[in-house]
Amino acid sequence: MVKETTKEKWELIWNDEFDYEGLPDENKWDYDAGGAGWGNAEQQFYTAYDTNTVRVANGVLIIEAHKKWHLGMPYKSGRVVTRGKGDFLYGKIEISAKLPKGRGLWPAIWMLPTEQKYGGWPSSGEIDIMEMVGHEQDYIHFSVHTGAFNHKNNTHKTYRTYLNGASDGFHIYAIEWYPDKIDFFLDGEKQFTFKKMGDDPQKWPFDQKFYLIMNIAVGGTWGGAKGVDNSIFPQRMEVDYVRVYKLK
């Protein structure tokens, strides 16, 4: 881990402080709804406009997973997106969050391309600002996926660090995304850098707009690698704020 903090000057351009109650602000957030595994054999159904799985209360956004059958899937959860309402090219993206806890859970804060300029996944890229799986509690993963570097081929670019108490308090997960690199931060300390290696979009598709995703998956090829502990539910991820900046 590189022990340094950013020295850039940033200007806030998009944010949600969750200082209201009810469903997330529809001018900023949408939902990905559905089941069918999401390409990873996940076991949850993501519901939309459902305050059981996604709501704002007491100053935080709550994404909550439940052990409850829903449209053929044994769990239900939430997945919010900024697609079409917050699409960004370069800048600093910062999220303060407290993570859920329990074997079988897979919380994530990540980004996908709005238009998939270079084709379907993984060719157009993926940026994983934070991932954790419950069977490896407190180990935070930062990753990128591209056509050349992705987990299907075991070539993805990734870094893992231990964060004591990831589910006990709020921590700040962030990226600083430039035309030639993406830096990943945890609580203001740089953890990992992915650098541009030429103009091949299979290696660097990060010259197009991406949108933010926040969700809790249940089970799946990674999250469920050691099964799901059904005694843990419900479990929630709480988000204190989301802030997006551009360079001044």
Residues with active-site annotation: 126, 131
Alpha-carbon Rg of the chain, whole angstroms?
17
Instruction: Give dist(CA 233, CA 188) in Å, integer.
Output: 31
Whether the bond between 234 and the residue before it is cis, its omega within 30 degrees of 0, is: yes
Residue 86 and residue 212 in contact, taking contact as beta carbons nearer than 8 Å:
yes
Q: In the numeric block, which tokens belong to residue 33?
A: 């709804």
Alpha-carbon separation of residue 190 from 42, 52, 82, 201 (angstroms): 31, 35, 25, 25
- List, in sequence order, the alpha helices (H) in 67-218: none
Q: Which residue has the tokens 């600002």?
A: 129
Torsion of CA 154, 156, 161, 166, to 10 degrees: -100
Q: Which amino acid is at 120?
A: G
- List, in sequence order, the alpha helices (H) in 136-220: none
Strand 210-218 to strand 30-31: parallel, antiparallel, or no bridges (unpaired)? unpaired
Alpha-carbon separation of residue 159 from 49, 66, 130, 211, 215 (angstroms): 34, 30, 10, 22, 20
For the stretch 126-141, what's the b/e string if a residue is b when 16 or more beta carbons lie within 10 angstroms of its beta carbon?
Answer: bbbbbbbbbbebeebb
